[in-house]
Amino acid sequence: MTIQWFPGHMTRARRQIEEKLKLIDLAIELLDARVPLSSRNPMIDQILKGKPRLVLLNKQDLADPKTTSDWVEYFKEQGLEALPIDASSGTGVRELVPKSRALLAEKIEAQRARGVNPRSVRALIVGIPNVGKSTLINRLAGRKVAITGDKPGVTKGQQWIKTQDGLDLLDTPGILWPKFEDQAVGVRLAATGAIRDEVLHAQDVVFYTLKYLAPHYAGELNERYQLGIEPDKLDLDNPDDVVALMEGIGRKRGCLISGGRVDLEKASQLFLRDLRDGKLGRISLEHPGELG
């Protein structure tokens, strides 16, 4: 399955970013801590052209803390500083400015050596839709200056915003890449709400998400839905076993139709809401140890 998703405003956003790079000291790459690799635009290295970069793992309050720690180490091995944050509550956000300045320490020191007082750091915030860019900007600015929403594609244009801590931020619309060749990437992004629900069927998203969650987070699923999952007894290659989990979730959530059957579509939508709202606990949908 190849998922096509490249609205015209995303094409324009990439061009605008490339035009603004000469004004930028630092790129702040915002990722979803639950799916850091899947929420990372594979074109970003090409787009940013070697600019200093700070990686932020947002929504860390929803992600498995041990897995998030492993992702921090993964990015460190790639030569990138990664900082787990939660833009909504402000957790970790205070560390953003000191880490940004540390990445630019040589440039700042060179300016001082020439007798030039360093100006505000100009930072570009990039990330895919619905990853929390506007929420982060509002948090840094200390006021509502960027539009937020729980649907992807809220930010349509670019805007400069001054923060309380001496950063000049350039907000940009979320940019997805032209297509997802890997079905798992599209499913993870759909599960976390990064792409519109209309792009993939909810039942398909939940089917593949449960195939991952059942062996990794059986305890959380059992606690929420009383499914009685025993991972070593599951045959996740058997579609019937996965559908049985979906039906169990539907029965627990009261998604029944005539004849006592489960409305799988309604059950799937409710499950995705639970997952996105953190009602299953702190869950990550990918781990660096699973990379080929």
| pLDDT tens string 241-256 | 999 999 999 999 999 9
- The encoded tokens of residue 34 equal 């639950």
- Binned at pLDDT 50, 70 and 90, residue 10 comes out as low
Q: Which option is the CATH number for 3-179: 3.10.450.50, 1.10.3720.10, 3.40.50.300, 3.20.20.70?
A: 3.40.50.300
Question: Which region holds residue 42: left if phi is over 0, alpha if psi is between -120 and 50, else beta?
Answer: alpha
Among 19-28, 73-82, 179-188, whose mean pLDDT is lowest?
179-188
CA distance 194 to 186: 9
CA–CA dist 54, 167 (Å, integer):
14
53: which 2 tokens?
């970069």
Mean pLDDT of the chain: 86
**Mean pLDDT lowest among 52-61, 173-182, 191-200:** 173-182
**CATH fit for domain 201-290, picks 1.10.510.10, 3.40.50.880, 1.10.1580.10, 1.20.1070.10:** 1.10.1580.10
Q: Which residue has the higher pLDDT, 141 or 70?
A: 70
Angle CA 269–180–131, to nearest 5: 60
Residue 277 has pLDDT above 90, yes or no: yes
pTM of the predicted model as reported, rounded to 2 decimal places: 0.87
Q: How confident is the model at residue 126 (pLDDT cuts 50, 70, 90)?
A: confident
Domain ranges, ordered by start, for the chain:
3-179, 201-290
Res 174: pLDDT: 67
Tell me what pLDDT residue 178 has.
Answer: 56
Give residues with Cβ within 8 angstroms of 115, minimum separation 6. Answer: none
Residue 156 confidence (pLDDT) above 50: no
Chain length of the chain: 292
